[in-house]
Amino acid sequence: MSGRVSGRVSAPASARRAVAAAAPAAAGGDRPYASPAEVVRLVERFEGATLPHAEWTHRAHLTVALWYATHHAPGEALDRMRVGLVRLNAAHGIPITPTRGYHETITRFYMHAVGKFVALETSPTEPWDDRANRLFERLGARDLTRRYYSESRLMSGEARAAWVEPDLQPLP
């Protein structure tokens, strides 16, 4: 059975799993998930700060956010994501500076978006790989934050250090 996501028709879960299983992991692991166990393992390695930098992709960020938004209240999910990001960055030797490392506004933006996705578009019986793959189809566009923020506002030191409201359009 095919599903509609963001106006697009997505392939059946079995077909997505087959493509994901055949996809090379050489692209930094940024490919659709092929099993729920992959998602669980990602979260475990994120929490243990053992996830290799090359595997800490945009898809991985969103998947961990999905895990936390599904298992915890919004404030706790944000706190867990924030602490985990800082811990993983430290394990990768990435310092927190005005131009590198943890970014509060981007983290909160995505936790808000993922929280909305969880509330409106997920089922507790949907397998984790399918859930994470659908989330990426829906929210994986690299320019998503730029629809709400100008580059100068989002890349400011203020936005990196603390939450700043969008300047192009309000959050949904």
99-129 residue pLDDT tens = 999 999 999 999 999 999 999 998 889 999 9
Predicted confidence (pLDDT) at residue 53 exceeds the cutoff of 60: yes
C-alpha span between 15 and 109 (Å, rounded): 31
The residue type at 65: A
Count of the separate structural domains present in the chain: 1
Give the distance, in angstroms, between the CA of residue 157 and the centroid of all CA atoms in the same chain.
22
C-alpha span between 172 and 113 (Å, rounded): 8
Predicted confidence (pLDDT) at residue 153 exceeds the cutoff of 80: yes
Tokens of 16: 């997505």
Report yes or no on 168 lying in a domain: no
Report yes or no on 9 lying in a domain: yes
- Looking from the CA of 103 toward its CB, the CA atoms found within 13 Å total 16
Report yes or no on 170 lying in a domain: no
C-alpha span between 71 and 84 (Å, rounded): 15
Identify whether the C-beta of residue 59 lies closer than 8 Å to the C-beta of residue 140: yes
pLDDT, tens digit (0-9, with 9 covering 90-100), for 64-106: 999 999 999 999 999 999 999 999 999 999 999 889 999 999 9
**63 or 10: which leads in pLDDT:** 63
Domain residue limits at 25: 3-161
Identify whether the C-beta of residue 17 lies closer than 8 Å to the C-beta of residue 35: yes
Pairing, β 8-10 against β 3-5: antiparallel
